[in-house]
Amino acid sequence: MFTRTYDDRPIPQTHVRALQRVSQSWGLSPADHETASVLEVGCAHGVNLMAMAARLPRATFLGIDIDPNVIEIARSRAAEAELANVRFEVGDVQTFDVPSGTFDYAIAHGVLSWVSEPVGVALFGLFRRALSSEGIGYISYDAMPGAALRETIGLGLRGLETDDVEQVRAVLAALHADAKPNTLQGAWVHSEVSAALGQPASFLEQQFLSPHQRALAVTEVWDQALAQRLRFVDDVAETGVPAAALARTVEVISRVAPNRRAAEQLLDAAIYRQFRASVFTRSARPMAHTGMDTQPDPGGAQVSARPRVLPLSRVEARSLGFVSTPDLGHRTLHPLHAMLVEALDGTQSVAELEALVVERVAQGHLSLPTESGEPATAQEAQLGASAVVASALNDLAEAGILLQAADS
């Protein structure tokens, strides 16, 4: 039986600020992200939702997932991170009861292509019920034609009737070795399998062992949404195509396509798109593209006398090995950075943090490299602590992880 491994990360394109901006660029009037109500379907451990909730204290968030184990973990971490504006509930898309028009934004990342068709239909129905009259929905999925080969390989691998990822890797390695890159078909297989072999176990499970995994045509998704009175707005997934080249292709297709629905499908064929993150709306307002707001996001904080991070950042450093950033990115942590983030509760001065680093090195709990490649001794740590801590704090500040001195 297939059992899913969750490897949560924040998803930048799901940020409600980004969804607000793209919707406004089409002439819509979505809710202000600072005070919005947000639903995430398939929230897993809540990593994505908590990263937003911690930085948008006047907004409210609800995450649902069918797996009670991940919901229990999400609730525990939210409590530890002192997040009062986010809730997590066990919920099945097909039966979850939501009051009509409750949410300004609804998100489902990594759901549609990995559930059965009836559940997919129910997902759009849930969005229709949940969203307000100006509400915005985000649904991601593996797209045709780019993901078709991956789907085909998955159909074969599911015939193994195993959830052993190492067996999957072995079959992929055999396909990779046999592929002939000097032919069009061989190059396609070689490229796709090579990329898959470099991915973690969770990716291989989701892409090749999930019983319902399938690639979807944008026209199919468009029609499913429209059947629930949800209109397609735009797509926010990276295409991998340079912006200038993409703009030229869009211009060419717009001149020959009979309508926007057809244009989106032709674009996917032209750029061989593998993944979509589509934005929908319940709004009945006319849509016309007016251009994206390019207002820059606020920069990072300066290093204060007593540096501080969000309680969530300390939980992430301790439990996940990374910290989320304000734009819903994430920063993998070196052990030094992880130790510092856990200590940055605003009670310790920079000098005290330097002393803490020296103490951890002396205790053998922290290893700092030297120019020779050998771990630093306590004496070497003492001499270099000021520079090491300053560099690490500046890294955290530039990533937006440190809080401004006046932040509450």
- Do 96 and 163 belong to one domain? no
Q: How confident is the model at residue 268 (pLDDT cuts 50, 70, 90)?
A: very high
The pLDDT mean for the chain works out to 91
Using alpha carbons, list the distances in angstroms from residue 81 to 12, 14, 310: 20, 21, 8
- Do 111 and 44 belong to one domain? yes
Asked if omega into 145 is within 30° of 0 (cis), the reply is: yes
Q: How confident is the model at residue 406 (pLDDT cuts 50, 70, 90)?
A: low
> What are phi and psi for residue 77, nearest 5 degrees?
-70, -40
Query: What's the predicted TM-score (pTM) here?
Result: 0.91
pLDDT in tens, 25-69: 999 999 999 999 999 999 999 999 999 999 999 999 999 999 999
> What are phi and psi for residue 345, nearest 5 degrees?
-105, 10
What tokens were used for 88? 């997590």
From 182-196, 243-257, 362-376, the region with the lowest mean pLDDT:
362-376
296: in domain: no
- Do 122 and 223 belong to one domain? yes
Task: Report the percent of the chain where pLDDT is more than 90.
Answer: 69
- Do 237 and 90 belong to one domain? yes
| Boundary of a domain, candidates 209, 228, 244 | 209
Distance CA 361, CA 359 (A): 5
- Do 203 and 244 belong to one domain? no
Distance CA 268, CA 262 (A): 10
- Do 237 and 139 belong to one domain? yes
Structural domain of 43? 12-143+215-281
User: Residue 52: which residues within 8 A CB-CB, separation 6 or more?
Assistant: 15, 16, 38, 59, 61, 328
- Do 138 and 245 belong to one domain? yes
- Do 119 and 231 belong to one domain? yes
Q: How far apart are the first and last CA of the chain?
A: 47
Distance CA 93, CA 306 (A): 45
Does 358 score more than 80 pLDDT? yes
pLDDT in tens, 216-229: 999 999 999 999 99
Are the beta carbons of 331 and 325 closer than 8 angstroms? yes
